[in-house]
């Protein structure tokens, strides 16, 4: 007796199907909104002797493997049983073309996708350029062309400025704990 595909195979096949019939241009769902299975599991090469595209050299494991299976609506399952129109290679191409829409590996970067990425990145960088800093006094302004000793001195001065800012915050909140904790964090990040 032949084994049915594993639950894991069914799950992966469903994800790869995008919940649609694999026949090109058909969007018939595999499961409806109620979760009812309204399609059929199809074999590229038949599971049983005498079935469409049966290959006697296949093992039972090959017949139930994900590479040999696809979901289709009833109509397209019956139509693809016509082996004069649908050879093994046609079915394999159909499966690959359909599943590649729903897998990361199959996603080709189209011009439209590139355009969207470009627009998103331009928007991000424009937002960064136009950012308003409410704590402008904490910005470290320096000339990176100076020697390391002077740059280090400027960094130390900037850290002192942050310490002073922390102290001011602590006094305004009447809490010395905030100032102490913030200073510890800053010291740890520089050691």
- Terminal alpha carbon distance of the chain: 69
Select from 49, 63, 52 the least CA-distant residue to 87.
52
Mean pLDDT of all residues in 120-134: 60
Percent of the chain whose predicted confidence (pLDDT) is above 90: 32
- Residue extents of the structural domains in the chain: 7-99, 136-189
Q: Which residues contact 69 (CB under 8 A, 6 or more apart)?
A: 5, 9, 13, 41, 42, 43, 44
Task: Give the predicted TM-score (pTM) of the model.
Answer: 0.56
Distances from the Cα of 169 to the Cαs of 115, 122, 157, 185, in angstroms?
A: 45, 36, 18, 15
Select from 33, 47, 40 the least CA-distant residue to 4.
47
Mean pLDDT of all residues in 74-89: 94
Mean pLDDT of all residues in 98-122: 67
Higher per-residue confidence, 127 vs 67 = 67
pLDDT at 168: 62
pLDDT tens digit string along 138-187? 555 566 667 667 767 777 777 777 776 666 665 555 555 666 656 665 55
């Amino acid at each position: 007796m032949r084994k049915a595909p594993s639950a894991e195979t069914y799950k992966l096949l469903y994800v790869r199907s995008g919940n649609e019939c694999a026949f090109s241009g058909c969007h018939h769902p595999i499961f409806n909104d109620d979760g009812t299975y309204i399609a059929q599991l199809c074999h590229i090469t038949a599971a049983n002797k005498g079935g469409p595209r049966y290959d006697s050299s296949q093992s039972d494991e090959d017949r139930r493997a994900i590479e040999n299976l696809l979901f289709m609506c009833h109509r397209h399952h019956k139509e693809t049983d016509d082996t004069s129109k649908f050879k093994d290679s046609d079915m394999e191409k159909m499966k690959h073309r359909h599943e590649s829409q729903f897998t990361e590996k199959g996603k080709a970067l189209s011009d439209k996708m590139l355009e969207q990425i470009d627009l998103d990145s331009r928007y991000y960088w424009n937002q960064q350029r136009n950012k308003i800093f409410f704590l402008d006094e904490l910005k470290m302004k320096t000339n990176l062309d100076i020697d390391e000793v002077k740059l280090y001195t400027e960094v130390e001065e900037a850290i002192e400025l942050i310490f002073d800012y922390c102290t001011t915050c602590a006094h305004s909140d009447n809490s010395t704990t905030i100032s102490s904790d913030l200073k510890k964090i800053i010291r740890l990040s520089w050691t």
